[in-house]
């Protein structure tokens, strides 16, 4: 519904202006962190995921199922499907196992 005085249009303009300002602030903040060499939350999350996946790949029998249960529990609490989460985690671990085996084979070829 539109008012005759154009207030809906004004509100939409203010909203878009606020969004542009927020995007600019976020981009500037991320750039400041990057220049300072300071990790943000996403950097930490990516690092932890790499550690979990590589640790699970190294000892898949012992660590894989434990991490899988924890991750499934966390992400299903956020609304994700348990089977899809488990499958995605297993695929990441399998890819990491493959990567580790390839790296080991290359090291053996060099030696």
Report pTM.
Answer: 0.63
- Rounded Cα distance between 105 and 20, Å, is 50
DSSP 35: H
Confidence grade of residue 104 (pLDDT, cut at 50, 70, 90): confident
- Rounded Cα distance between 22 and 15, Å, is 11
Query: Of all helices (H) and strands (E), which one includes residue 78?
Result: none
Dihedral (C-alpha) 56, 58, 62, 66: value to the nearest 10 degrees? -10
9-66 per-position pLDDT tens digit: 999 999 999 999 999 999 999 899 889 999 988 899 989 998 998 888 888 888 888 9
Radius of gyration of the chain measured on its C-alpha atoms: 23
Residue 34 main-chain phi, psi, to 5 deg: -65, -45
- Rounded Cα distance between 55 and 49, Å, is 10
């Amino acid at each position: 519904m539109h008012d005759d005085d154009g207030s809906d249009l004004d509100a939409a303009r203010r909203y878009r202006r606020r969004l542009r300002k927020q995007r600019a602030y976020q981009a500037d903040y991320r750039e400041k962190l990057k220049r300072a060499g300071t990790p943000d939350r996403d950097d930490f999350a990516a690092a932890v995921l790499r550690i979990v996946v590589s640790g699970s790949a190294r000892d898949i029998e012992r660590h894989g199922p434990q991490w899988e249960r924890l991750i499934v529990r966390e992400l299903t609490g956020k609304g994700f499907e348990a089977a899809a989460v488990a499958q995605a985690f297993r695929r990441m671990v399998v890819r990491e196992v493959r990567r580790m085996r390839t790296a080991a084979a290359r090291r053996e070829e060099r030696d």
